[in-house]
Amino acid sequence: MSDLRFMNDLVIAGRTFRSRLIVGTGKYPSHSIMRAAHEASGTDMVTVAVRRVDISRQTESLLDYIDTSKIFLLPNTAACYTADDAIRTARLGREAGMSNWVKLEVIGDEKTLFPDNEGLLEATRVLVKEGFIVLPYTNDDPVVCRKLADAGAAAVMPLGAPIGSGLGIQNPNNIRIIKEQATVPVIVDAGVGTASDAAVAMELGADGVLMNTAIAGAQDPVAMARAMKLAVEAGRLAFLAGRIPKKSYATASSPLQGVIGT
């Protein structure tokens, strides 16, 4: 059970990742800090967004700061509010990145950035049919997660809390149920604020954690990236180790025999 291979390997759609931590590429103070944070996190998969090229000026390419021989690119469909827009964006991402993987987002509400379940399921079905490896960002709803897996999603990525909120895992019981029922890997995506949040997600049994703001927005993103690496590993190991049951009252750790003065 505690075999280190179990601890380290995340397998999605037959592809093996050494790290269970997936990291974003947005909102870092600079591209070079992002690169250093990726290195410190130990990640081998990062998300990227698909956006119009600025044709009025030459800009530095994000890809100059990602070693794609070591790090797998996962294009997202962030800011898409309809299945059609998400499908279009996924197709563009495939052409730009030359892989058929997509982090599928169909957003239903601007303020919370909560997913639109209906659109998400529809887009998942279409993209799976087109040969995509679909990793949908979804609500922490076990029923929706089951439907997504049934529709052919290669993993499900329930949110821990709203994107960028840093609130931590708001509904641990749902994440646990999702994992118990899941037939595909479960990646907790969004809501992590600090290392203990990532550890909690892993202790609940999640197969991995995806985060962006928690690292990019930290005062020291590189140090936080390392903290997240350690937290994900610690959480995974604790899950595999099997925690003790919770009890209301104390159980002494030291022997009750041989106490002096008795």
Partner 1 sequence: MTIKLNGDPHDIPEPLSVSALLEQLEIDARRVAVELNTAVVRKTEYDSSVIKEGDEVEIVNFVGGG
Of 2-10, 89-97, 169-177, 221-229, the segment contacting partner 1 by CB under 8 A is 89-97
- Residue 131 binds to partner 1 (criterion: CB under 8 A): no
What are the backbone dihedrals phi and psi of residue 208, each rounded to the nearest 5 degrees, phi first?
-170, 170
- Residue 48 binds to partner 1 (criterion: CB under 8 A): yes
Q: How far is the CB of 202 from partner 1 (least distance, A)?
A: 19
Closer CB to partner 1, residue 124 or residue 213? 213
Query: H or E stretch including 135?
Result: strand 133-138
User: What residues numbered 195-214 form the site for partner 1, per CB under 8 A?
Assistant: 210-213
- Residue 115 binds to partner 1 (criterion: CB under 8 A): no
As a whole number of angstroms, the distance between CA 254 and CA 244 comes to 17
Q: How far is the CB of 93 from partner 1 (least distance, A)?
A: 7
User: Which residue in 93, 119, 142, 168 binds partner 1 (CB under 8 A)?
Assistant: 93
Owner of token pair 């962006």:
212
CB-based contacts of 37, cutoff 8 Å, min separation 6: 23, 28, 215, 216, 221, 222, 224, 225
Closest CA to 201 of 9, 15, 21: 21
- Residue 238 binds to partner 1 (criterion: CB under 8 A): no
User: Which residue in 21, 78, 225, 227 binds partner 1 (CB under 8 A)?
Assistant: 78
Could you tell me the two tokens for 99?
């892989």
- Residue 158 binds to partner 1 (criterion: CB under 8 A): no
Closest CA to 106 of 120, 118, 94: 120
* Residue 103: active-site member: yes
CA distances from 190 to 144, 167, 211, 229 (A): 17, 9, 6, 16
Q: How far is the CB of 20 from partner 1 (least distance, A)?
A: 17
Asked if 216 and 36 count as a contact pair (C-beta separation under 8 A), the reply is: no
Which residue of the set 103, 147, 179, 229 is catalytic?
103
Query: H or E stretch including 133?
Result: strand 133-138
Active site residues: 103
Q: By the criterion CB under 8 A, which residues form the site for partner 1?
A: 24-28, 34, 47-53, 55, 58, 61-63, 73, 75-76, 78, 88, 91-97, 163-164, 190, 210-213
